Amino acid sequence: MSVDNSCSDGSIPLRNLLNSVRCIRDRVRDGESNESNGDFNLPNFWDTLIQAVKATSQEATKLSLAFSKPPLPSQQDGERLAETIQKSILALSTVYYWFPKSQGITLRRIIRDATAEVLDGVMQLIDVILSSPLQSLSQEQLMSTGGVWSACDQFAHLPKGVYSLFIAARGLFLYFP
């Protein structure tokens, strides 16, 4: 007999988390970054952003594994899992907001879109966990977890500054006239 995650008390923290991630994602898509006061440190930004992305990926993996086989995590364990993934998501979105427009609007848009894609992936993973019967790690859950990983992995390939963005764009024009 399968257990439906959507009917269990343990799903309440996940439903709350899903709503929180949705709100954070919407704010990232619509929000404005801080204006730079001249103290912006680009290498520090990238180091901190990559760490936040790695933490989000790790927490999404923990969440997926916790709901991959019976028994379900207790309500208290579910709350802890939701809290830790929410902290990693808040850290990721906060670091995104550090990036000032003065460093390049196009680059900021690329970082925003990549951040939103991670948040979309986490939302999809939570939704799959809530809607899937708990038997074993489902194909949908594996694909959703992989989607979060893929979205997180793209940060390593983003241009790290206006110059690298220019070089990447110039390379496109050289190959596709």
What is the domain extent for residue 142? Answer: 3-175
Spell out the residues 6+ positions from residue 38 whose beta carbon is closer than 8 angstroms to its own: none
**Do residues 156 and 118 lie in contact, with contact meaning Cβ atoms separated by under 8 Å?**
no
pLDDT tens sequence across 5-50: 444 456 889 999 999 999 999 999 987 766 666 788 999 999 999 9
Model-level pTM?
A: 0.85
CATH of the domain at 17: 1.20.1420.10
The total of structural domains in the chain comes to 1
The one-letter code for the residue type at 23 is: C
Low-confidence stretches of the chain (pLDDT < 70) are 1-10, 33-37, 133-137, 162-177
Q: Which two tokens stand for residue 103?
A: 């460093």
Residue 57: how many other CB atoms lie within 10 Å = 23
Length of the chain: 177
